[in-house]
Amino acid sequence: MRFLLTIAVLFLLPFAGYYTWRGIKAARSAAGEGENGEARDLPPPPLQVLALVGAGLAITGILALAIGTAFGGGAQTGQFRPPALEGGRVVPGRIDPVEQRREAPPEEEQEPAGDGARG
């Protein structure tokens, strides 16, 4: 869920900037500023450019998450336990550490005593 929310926020930031700019522009024109043509000559940026900028930010966010995970962000190891209902109470999900089993070293097969010659 956090991953999708991060992408959505990065995608929507350029649109928020655009609407903020439009609001400032509308307030200036209502106040009578820009009579000599500076503020009123600015064309509104096309929606396609904003969509591309939002997509670029979303891709940048995905790459940042992937790089962060590759370099230590996802270093948790263990067995995932999903949320469960126990005794009428929801127990949140968790990652239980995995117990490392120490395997006995393999026993070397010993040859029977003797000269080692078969015959």
25, with CB counted inside 10 A (0-12, 13-18, 19+), is: middle
- CA 51 to chain centroid, in Å, comes to 20
15, with CB counted inside 10 A (0-12, 13-18, 19+), is: middle
Q: Quick one: which of 23, 67, 65, 63 has its CA closest to 44? A: 23
- Per the model's pLDDT, the better-predicted residue between 115 and 27 turns out to be 27
- Report the pLDDT averaged over residues 4-22: 85
pLDDT, tens only, 20-70:
888 888 887 777 655 554 545 555 567 777 888 888 889 998 888 888 777
So what's the pLDDT on residue 24? Answer: 80
**Position 92 pLDDT exceeds 90:** yes
So what's the pLDDT on residue 70? Answer: 75
pTM of the predicted structure, to 2 decimals:
0.33
So what's the pLDDT on residue 91? Answer: 94
Map residue 110 onto helix, strand or coil: coil
